[in-house]
Amino acid sequence: MFSTQADYMESGPEKIYSLKAGAPSTRLRQKCADLVQKATLSLHKLEKCPEAFMYGADPGATVFRQELAKFLTEQYGNTVNHEDLWVNAGASQGLAFIGSFLFQSGDVVFAEEPAYYIGLRALRDDLAMNVIGIPSDSDGIIVEEFEKLITEHSDKLQPPTEKKPYSAMLYCVPTFNNPTGSFLPGERCQKVIELLRKHNILAFCDDVYNLLSYTDGEKPPQRLFEFDDKSNADYKGNVISNGSFSKFLAPGLRLGWMEVPERVLKVLKTCAYASSGGCFNHYISCIIAIALQEGLVQDHLLMVRKVFHSQLNTLCDALDKYIPCQFSYQRPKGGYFVWVTLPSKVNCEKLYEICRKKYFVEFNNGSRFAASSGKFKNCMRLCFAFNECEIIEHCVKQIGLALKELLNC
């Protein structure tokens, strides 16, 4: 059969259940396959179908960007203009693209901590940028700490040039954070915007979980992008909102988008890489344009929100039932993850080994999410999106047994 990233990463004799993988379940991916099949048939019947097999326009096909803008405007409850959208091949490619095109090795990246560990690796290891962790609390970045760090590292901030117009980057997941599930409250967003403008910093927001809000009927929290208000006298354009279809449709589509300010767009338009290949994922974007027109994506999103919400409840209930020691977590209002803090004497790397070898279950170690080593050793990130409820409960029960063994309780 086709191999997946999980097959590539590890293969062993035992079936290991994973609360590590950040992707929709097999059942939801099958539903996505049905959606894609329907939309593909519609696309292939169109007279204009050969256009989908041509190089796409650099920022993406207008029809896709228009449909996407309409969809996002409805979902966010805030206007998204199609002219501000640049199609990418998923959020990971968006980060690699912006990190390499608007910045250079050695440039400073302030990153909230804990942070999505592969994002940190991309910035630090692939792009050789200078990653500096910003302490956060249960509401995300602590703004005063961010300000202190900017002052401390001010000598390393680069003077802007036409091709590289920002002095540093802020990397963050302000809404339904990976790994903590938190979201940055409005007052903090406002203060972050003031700092970005004052110090010429570009916030690159991985907004990949924003549409997965589980507070029924409520709009998701406002994006940092919206706080960078174009009508302000001191507006310059300091935020990119980097979105993706990976989390609510399927990661195999490799389709996402960036909502960018004019200042960024101007530079992207000069990019030879985009000019040579055109849109980063044109054909799939044409299929999804049709799926949006036919309302299929909207219905799918409503369905997955319900599924994820019930999986979240199962995970939290199982934690309350099976974890045999003092621990804490904050029940997230959206996204994919629950961040669990265990007693400080628990080493989650050891716990992980026991879980995998003896209880055939795995999770993500907290220490992976640190910008510098030594932090979050007693924390774990549990993903509730990938497994059905019975498996989630089983996994937490197994982790509870492993903890009992580790703590001798």
Ligand X SMILES: Cc1ncc(COP(=O)(O)O)c(C=O)c1O
Binding positions for ligand X, rule: CB under 6 A? 22, 90-92, 116, 119, 173, 178, 206, 208, 244, 246, 251, 256
* CB-based contact 362:17 (threshold 8 Å): yes
Cβ 247 to ligand X, closest distance in Å? 7
Burial class (CB in 10 A: 0-12, 13-18, 19+), 340: buried
Tokens of 408: 């001798």
**23 vs 340, beta carbon nearer ligand X:** 23
Pick 192 or 323: Cβ nearer ligand X:
192
Closest CB 73 distance from ligand X, rounded Å: 21
Contact status, residue 392 vs residue 318, Cβ threshold 8 Å: yes
**How far apart, in whole angstroms, are the C-alpha atoms of residue 306 and residue 327?**
27
CB of 116 to ligand X, least distance (A): 4
Closest approach of ligand X to the CB of residue 304, in Å: 15
Measured from the CB atom, the residue of 250 and 307 that comes closer to ligand X is: 250
SS3 190: helix
Closer residue to ligand X (CB): 70 or 254 = 254
Helices (H), 212-359: 224-227, 262-268, 272-277, 282-293, 296-322, 348-358
Among 113, 103, 123, which residue's Cα sits nearest to residue 167? 103
CB of 408 to ligand X, least distance (A): 35
Please calculate the CA angle 11-96-184 and round it to the nearest 5 degrees.
95
Q: How far is the CB of 317 from ligand X (least distance, A)?
A: 24
Distance CA 80, CA 97 (A): 22
Choice between 59 and 119, CB closer to ligand X: 119
Closest approach of ligand X to the CB of residue 162, in Å: 29
> Which of 6, 17, 13, 24 lies closest to 390, judged by CA?
17
Distance separating alpha carbons of residues 105 and 121, to the nearest angstrom? 13
Q: Which of 234, 254, 235, 236 is nearest to 244 (CA)?
A: 254
- Residue placing its CB nearer to ligand X in the complex, 118 or 325: 118
For the bound state, the minimum distance from the C-beta of residue 67 to ligand X, rounded and expressed in Å, comes to 18
Between helices 26-45 and 296-322, what is the axis angle to 10°?
170
Beta bridge partners of 135: 113
Q: Residue 323 or 371: which CB sits closer to ligand X?
A: 371
When the beta carbons of 76 and 116 are compared against ligand X, the nearer one is: 116
